[in-house]
Amino acid sequence: MALTFTVADQAWQLEAIHRLNYRTFVEEIPQHPVSPDRRLVDRFHHENTYLICLDGRRLVGMVALRARRPFSLDLKLPELDGYLPPARSLVEVRLLSIEPGYLGRRVLAGLLRLVLEQVRAAGHDLGVFSATTRQLALYNHLGGVPFGPLVGPPEARFQPMYLPVPALEAALARLLPVRPEPASFLPGPVTVDPAVQAALAAAPPSHRSAAFDTLLDQVRLRLSRLVEAPRVQVLVGSGTLANDLIAGQLALLERRGLVVANGEFGERLLDHARRFGLSFDALCQPWGTVLADRELAAAAARVAPGGWLWAVHCETSTGVLNDLPQLKQLAASAGLRLCLDAVSSIGTVPVDLRGVWLASGVSGKGLAACPGLAMVFHHHQVQPAPSGLPRYLDLGLYDQAHGVPFTHSASLVAALDAALAGLDAPARFAAIAAAGASAREQLERQGWRVLAPPQHASPAVLTLPLEGDSSSRLGRRLERAGLLVSYRSEYLLRRNWLQICLMGAEPGRGIERLLAELGRAAAPRETVTA
């Protein structure tokens, strides 16, 4: 049952309210006379704020709020205020009704949560209502305090009650189960280890201190050993910045190259190349497909030796893991410098950058540190280009200044160092591979399709093309269940894709909850609502 709780603001919702009002307060509780059209429009309808629960387009529960005096209860009980404790602001709660098939605590709790949100926003601190004598036990359980005599005709008796806002808060705490801690399956930011959080929170040294030099050298050494690259520069920024630095180095070559794209991030490399005015050919293949050997070899053969080849290793948008040994062999045989976007592969799968001229990475994602640091790996010493590049995009300045030409973030570097210190790479890769394979198997058994073919897929990225469902509706439903998946990126929304990423410090944490929720959403798909 996928339920939506909202404020009624559409004509069909208001019409459904009139009909539920009739079924409850005419047919069930004979408070009003029978009407041939089986509609009951409340006397204060135009002043009511209706809070409703929907199952699809079916109204299954409602309650109304009204703060304008006289209240309905004023008309039944003269000198109402004499019965009430001092209060800054009163609101009347009326017309609570839930369809018989939805009488569990879930609908009631959802409606009361909306009531609490509304009264808090309006500054009310005391609610008054008339409780049907048929449900006094329920209203007492909610914290209602009875006062005054019963009101209403003999066949429909009501007990006046008031409810302080703190009592409503306590009632909600009793009604609502304790929500599990949110589980993140985002590509970033990812969940991090407590040691990483502690390192980020510690007082940072100056980026010009000997202590920071030692820290940064240690981080660079650990990164180099992880991916078999002799040099790496770490700078404040994102993967986009790292790829801009690579584009800057390609611009200095003044050689023609080849950009390969089979997804969003390959197409972003094309954009980097265009913005830098690079001379290049483009090999674009359909999203979700694997780079075709023959087409790739033919495209590389058209580039003169001494040029370059730029590709994405893990195409995050689709989950395809492009064949790095194939790219290295092709570049070597064609005499091309290979450049690689390794942003989503470093830390999730083994990455060997021997034979790669330049590669980009980040501190978040697979390394499970805090976002905010970019990396450029290189095999050669890079000279500054004062007449060719902006200062911040000049990789040679970083190399010349031992990694600190400008202000740096000691806090982010310390957090990255903590993540790398705790990284058991073989164990992490095995855990991600096992979690990814198990998740794929269960998803396919449930009827979902994983976009990337298994033999060419990153185990850390599962992209699900949705058919019939809305990725944004399903993503929001999962968020309400405490499961954070990727669906908000423009390229995912445009294709109606939803994405599960296993890049955090504990890649399998919460996966069974996620798979169970997706299993419920898979059949029947049409029950998923906003």
Q: Give dist(CA 498, CA 260) in Å, integer.
A: 24
**C-alpha span between 442 and 493 (Å, rounded):** 24
**Greatest extent of the chain over all pairs of C-alpha atoms, in Å:** 97
Structure confidence at residue 530 (pLDDT): 26
Cα(168)–Cα(118) distance, integer angstroms? 12
Nearest 5°: the CA angle 293, 299, 303 is 135
Joined together, the tokens standing for residue 424 give 């058991």
Element (H, E) at 374: strand 373-378
> Cα–Cα distance between 20 and 4 in angstroms, integer?
17
The shares of helix, strand and coil residues in the chain, as percent rounded to the nearest 5, are 40, 20, 35
Which residues does 125 contact at the CB level (< 8 Å), separation at least 6?
A: 87, 88, 89, 119, 164, 165
pLDDT digits (tens, 9 = 90+) for 285-322: 999 999 989 999 999 999 999 999 999 999 999 999 99
Cα(388)–Cα(252) distance, integer angstroms: 7
What is the reported pLDDT for 86?
Answer: 84
- At 1 the pLDDT is 47
Q: What is the pLDDT of residues 9-19, one digit of tens each?
A: 899 999 999 99
The sheet carrying 126-132 orders its strands as 3-7, 49-55, 58-66, 90-98, 126-132, 158-164, 145-146
Measured distance CA(254)–CA(272) in Å, rounded: 15
Q: What angle do CA 113, 114, 117 make, to 5 degrees?
A: 90
Q: What is the pLDDT of residue 179?
A: 61
- Residue 290, classed as helix, strand or coil, is coil
| Class of residue 232 by CB neighbours under 10 A (exposed 0-12, middle 13-18, buried 19+) | buried
Each residue of 216-226: b (16+ CB within 10 Å) or e?
A: beebbebbeeb
**3-class SS string, 113-171:** HHHHHHHHHHCCCEEEEEEEHHHHHHHHHCCCEECCCCECCCCCCEEEEEEEHHHHHHH
Question: Which domains, and CATH codes, for the chain?
Answer: 3-175 (3.40.630.30), 194-421 (3.40.640.10), 425-527 (3.90.1150.10)
Phi, psi angle pair for 458, to nearest 5° = -75, 130
For the chain, residues with pLDDT lower than 50 are 1, 524-530
* C-alpha span between 507 and 511 (Å, rounded): 8
